[in-house]
Structure formats: structure tokens, C-alpha cells
Chains A and B, each alone.
Chain A
Amino acid sequence: MRATLRPVLLLVGLAVLIVAPLGESNYVIYLLCSWLIFSIAAIGLNLTLGYAGQISLAQASFMGIGAYSTAILTLAGWPWVVGMLLGVFLCFIVGLALGFPALRVKGHFLAFVTLAFNTLVFLVSRNEEWLTGGTYGLSNMPRPSLFGFSTDNQTHFYYFTVLVFLVSAALMYGIVRSPWGRAFKALRENPIRAESLGVDTRWLTLIAFAIGSAYAGIAGALVSPLVQYIDPGSFALVHSLRILLMVVVGGAGFFFGPMLGAVIVILLPEALRFTEGYYLIIYSAAVIALMVFCPSGLIGIWGRLRDRLGRKPETRADMQAGAQL
């Protein structure tokens, strides 16, 4: 039953993605593109946070690196793909460079280093006008054309975004299912035991962080043609916090968590717009409540409900916490 159910559900999901923009206004399609782009960034952060257990507060700045490299290159006439690949490459390298020393020390130091990094990237993009257009930003980036097929039309760009999204998600699925992915899981569950089994925790965490940051680069490369205007403020610390929120609210460590989280974080404010000035208050209170009652995120709610309501096999009390070293 399980084996046949999953592919069917995935097909349904795919169908929904394809059908979604038909007949909708430009504004709604724009929102959908935005959701997909942030989902990609959140998927990356999920690898760093949910699987490797590290907090990164720089995801937006990596998006910025991706966006700026794409913008600068496409404005100079290069095709979008080149810009995107360069951006992803840069993000990966910078991720390695940033993570290598920071992960030497135990504890949540990566969080603070990434916090500082995000603001530094903002300052550089704001001050170095010759490269990034400074505070005025860069505008009028051309939209990519795929095999001669232009994406200027918002709906066409949406399908292009869906394509990139599907490829990225599939890639992540492959990573998570691979031996690497299992090593990540081991790392998250019990780092000491993982280490005793020969898993190089430090290197693994570093790679997870670098890949997660590279995903943000992909997302950023899509932001540039979508909005056709980027400025330093679009990638400030507050946006990194939003992406973190998406991962946590959706459910860190679950594959579909980031997408659910992105739906909530991007679309919920739209639905709450009628509350005018109050929606951020309602929103933040809801997040606090969520963290208090269900720290494993929304996907975790299903599991908890099932535990509460369904029958469960008897477990030995001392085995519930798992064997501890």
C-alpha cells in the first residue's frame, strides 16, 4: 500500500504545481514563484539544520551572492545559466571557507559567525557601488530564455521556476537517500556514536553547510530574473531569519518540511493581510505557540497526533530515550 501510495501522491503534487497558475493574476503567479524560490533556499537550510544540526543565519546572504552574480553577468550579456553556476560555485566555496574554522568549536558558534557574515555581505553590497550598484542596486535584468523560449511572460517564468525547483528537490532527495544522507542522520541523532563508528563529523557537517549554502545560491539566481531588481536590503539578516523560520515551522529534518514552511511563511501573511497592522503580532505569537507545543514543526504534528490517538506497541521505558553513551 505504502509503495503505491507515494508515487501517486507525488504525481498529484506535480499536477497541482502545473495547474496552479492557470487563470490567475500576475500577482498570484508572482507569489507562487516566490514560494518555489524560497522553498529551494529552505531545502538547502534544511540540510544544514535539520540533517546536520547546525544553525545558519546567512542563508539570505548566500541568496544574495547567487542573485548578484547572476545579475552582474546577465546584465553584461552572459546567459543566465553561467551566472547561476558561478553563483552556486561561489556559495559552495564561501560556505566551506566560513564553516571550516567555525565548526572547529563545539556549540552554536556557526550561528553567530553566519549572523556576522550576513551583515558583512550586506555592508559590502551596499558600499561597493562599482560592483553591485551600491544602495541603488541593479535593475532590468533580462529574463532567461530556455532553448529560444523566452520567459518574459510571468506564467512562462513560473514553469521555468518549477523546472529548476524539481531538479533541485530531486537532487536533494538523492543526497538524503545516499550513504552521505544516512551519515547526516546518524550525525543528528547521536554525534558521539556516529563518531565512534568512523563518521568524520566535522567534515560531514562542513559539506552539509556548504551544500545548503549552494542551494541558497540557486534560489538567489532565480530571484534576479523574477523581480528584475535587486538591492542589498533584499538579502539582509531579517530574510535569513525568515528562511530559518520556514524550516523550523515546516519541520526540520523532514524532506517536505521546508516546502510546507515556505507556504506558511509566504502565503500566510497574504491571507492575514486583512488584519492590517496586527498580522505580525499574530504571526509571531503563533510561532511561539508552535515552538512551545510542537517543536518538531508542523509535519511533526501529524506524528504526534498519531502517537496520541493511535495504538502504539509497548516500549521499554529505558529504551525510549535511546541508548546513551
Chain B
Amino acid sequence: MKRRALLVTAAAAATSAFVAVAPVGTAHAAGTVLIPCVCELSGAGAVSGTNYRDGAHLAIKEINAAGGILGKKIEMTDYDTQTDPQTSRALMQKAIDSGAYVVMGTVYSGSTIVNMIVAQRAGVPQITGSEAPNITQKGNPYIFRTSSGAEKGVPSLTPYFKHTLKTKKIAVAWVNNDFGKGGHDVFIKQMKKAGIQVVADVPSEQGQVDFAADVAKIKQSGAQAAFVYLNEEEDARFLREAKKQGLKIPLVGEVTLTGQKVIDLSGGAAEGAFAHVGLATSAPVFKNFVKKFRDAYNRDTDHNGIKGYIGIYAIKYVTEMIGKFDRKAFAKKMHGLTLKASKYPGMMLDTSWDNTGEMLRTSFMTEVKNGKQVVIGTVPAE
């Protein structure tokens, strides 16, 4: 009895002691501007988040070397969300409490949809790498993308299916989470509009290893092409299974299917796959960036690295345009803005944002040829 009561006091004392010393908000040096990165550095999204952050760091290094933004150097603190939406929400609050000007992150749509509520309430602009459509549909005036959402990317494929491949019956394999469902729902709507029949609709789980049933179903359905919208590892496993079962129809993806990681992991099964990619690292316009990244970090990056890089540069350019560190003015300026790459080289491609924070930019059709992603065409921004 007594010992329990004593232990309660100990626990209470510990809690209050913790609370008393918990960092309330680290003051930062007067000559710096705080742009924290709330991103996935561990968990399922570790690779994406790390690339996003490293791309951003690259930009920060360059900008700081050239004098910073309006004379202030950029300071970036990392907050690892562990790819957990609730953690990301808490960390977003923490980052904002520390006096952030603009927040970079998160990459995973499931996290962004949660933590952007916090940023919105605090009036802090947020530059995200997520692609789920619903992120820009919630009326948040402070959210801005660094890559097109699925609602822009997937429709780019419709003319490809209709006119190039002349498909009448199509199958869709998608991962059953925010990211996959977003793309799937847009796809179904597009196919209905184009008059193409969806004969097989095959959801799968994130982290699924066995795709025998999925491929068998698609094979059996008589589809003439398949839209594959999965995360990278599942893409690789799917492609392997497709090759094994002899699935001969064109496999077309959005963003992930022709990435280098998928090519490496699928052991040759990725040959001949197509994808529409917003930020194709194999496109000539990104060659310089890819080299810079490899020199700095000794590894290859993916589209998330590009997103982080241009995100930071966008912050720099817009802040210089408005001439002060004003969050509200920043958000207002971004809406309807176009940054031409010729005048703003950090953007690498002409980029525009609309009034919902959605981004518009030229994108690419790619194919896997001889084990490498090759750009076979460009798609103009809508």
C-alpha cells in the first residue's frame, strides 16, 4: 500500500520534472530562418522521406553558400514521423512551436492529411511531397505540392490508353491505402469517361508479398492492358509474378513503376513496363541534379529528392518576391504563381500552382528499356 503510494508520487514527480524541462521552443539565432523537415526517416516511408530531406538539404547548402534568403541562412531541423500519421501530427505541432517559417513535409499522404490540419490552424505554409488527391481538396490555403497529385497525373494516361494502346478492356492493380485508393478512384472515373471497360479491379495490401492471385485474376479477365499503382517493392514483386505467369499485356504505371529501385528489385521483370512520371530522374533536364545528389550523398535519388530540392528553392524565390518573411503573404503569392526555370533555375522545370496548392508542370512518359528508365515522350502541363 505505502509503496504504491510512494511510487505514484515518484511517477508524478517524474512527470512534472519531465514537463518542466521539456523543450518548449528552441530560440534560434537571429540571423537564421527556420524551415523544419517533418518527414519519414524511419518506418515504411524511410526511403522516400530521407530522399526528400536530402534533396532539401542540397538546396539549403547551395542557397546558404550564396547568402541565404534575404540575408538569413536557412536552418533545417529533422523531425522523424516514423511514417505514423499521429506522430507526424504531434511533430508538426512541435515544429511549429519552435518558430517555423514554412514547414517541409510530409511525403506519405496518410500522414499529410492529418498533420496539415495543424499547420493550417497555425497559419503555417506547408510544402508537401504527397500525391493523394484529397490533400488539395480540403480547402487548406497553406498547403502546396511539389509534384502533381494523382488527379492530375492519372488523367495524363487516359489518351495513352485510348489512342496509343487502343485499349477497350483494362485491369487495375492498386494498393489499398490513401495513396493507392486516391489514384484508383481517379482512374475509374477517367476510364468511365473514356468508355474503356474495367474488367478486373484488384486491390492489394501495402507490404504484400504474394501476387499470384492478383496476376492470375488479371490474366483471366481478358484485359488488354493493366494500370499498376503500387508502392515500389510491391511493383517489383508484381512484375516478377507477371513475368512468371506469362502476363503479356502492357503494364502501365504512374510515378513508381519504372523507377530505378523497381528495376533493380524486379530482376529483369520490369523490362517493357511503361509509366507516366512527373519527376523522371532519367529526364535530361534533371541530369545535373542527379549528379549533384550522387556526389553529395554517394547514392542515387528518386523523385522525392527532386521534390525536396525544388521545395526549398520555391520558398526562397517566393520569399524574395514578397520581400519579407510573412507567412500569409507567402501563401497568397503562391496561389496562381508560375516560376519559369529560365529565370528561376532552382526549379529546373517551369512550375505553376493553382488556388488549391495543386502543382502543374510538364511530365514524362517513360519505358523500361534494357534495364533503364528511358523517356519516350513529354506530357504538357494542363
Contact = CB atoms under 8 A, between A and B. Distances in A.
A and B touch in the complex (CB under 8 A): yes
Contact of B3 (A27, A234, A302): A302
Contacts, number: 118
Main secondary structure of the interface of A (DSSP, over half): helix
Nearest to B182: A136
A31 B19 CA distance: 10
Interface of B: 1-9, 11-16, 18-19, 22, 24-25, 41-42, 80, 84-86, 89-90, 93-94, 97, 110, 113-114, 117, 134, 176-178, 181
Contact of B110 (A231, A276, A277): A231
Contacts of A19: 16
Contacts of A229: 85, 89, 113-114, 117
Nearest to A268: B18
Interface in A1-47: 2, 5-6, 9-10, 12-13, 16-17, 19-20, 24-28, 30-32, 34-35
A126 interface: yes
Interface string A128-139: 000000111101
Interface residues of A, number: 53
A121 to B, nearest CB: 16
Contact of A12 (B12, B80, B117): B12
Given A28-B19, A28-B22, A30-B90, A233 B85 contact: yes
Closest 3 CB pairs of A and B: A9-B5, A16-B12, A27-B94
7 contacts: A13-B8, A28-B22, A127-B176, A227-B114, A273-B80, A302-B3, A302-B6
Given A227-B86, A270-B22, A136 B1 contact: no
Interface of A: 2, 5-6, 9-10, 12-13, 16-17, 19-20, 24-28, 30-32, 34-35, 126-127, 134-137, 139-140, 227-229, 231, 233-234, 254-256, 259-260, 263, 267, 270-271, 273, 276-277, 280, 298-299, 302-303, 306
Label chain B's interface by main secondary structure: helix
Given A231-B114, A255-B4, A136 B11 contact: no
A29 to B, nearest CB: 9
Contact of A299 (B7, B113, B177): B7
A1 B11 CA distance: 21
Given A5-B2, A135-B181, A299-B7, A263 B25 contact: no
Contacts of A25: 24-25, 94, 97
Given A139-B117, A227-B89, A277-B42, A13 B12 contact: yes
Contact of A306 (B3, B5, B15, B110): B3
A256 B14 CA distance: 14
Contacts of B113: 136-137, 139, 229
B11 A259 contact: yes
Contacts of A17: 12
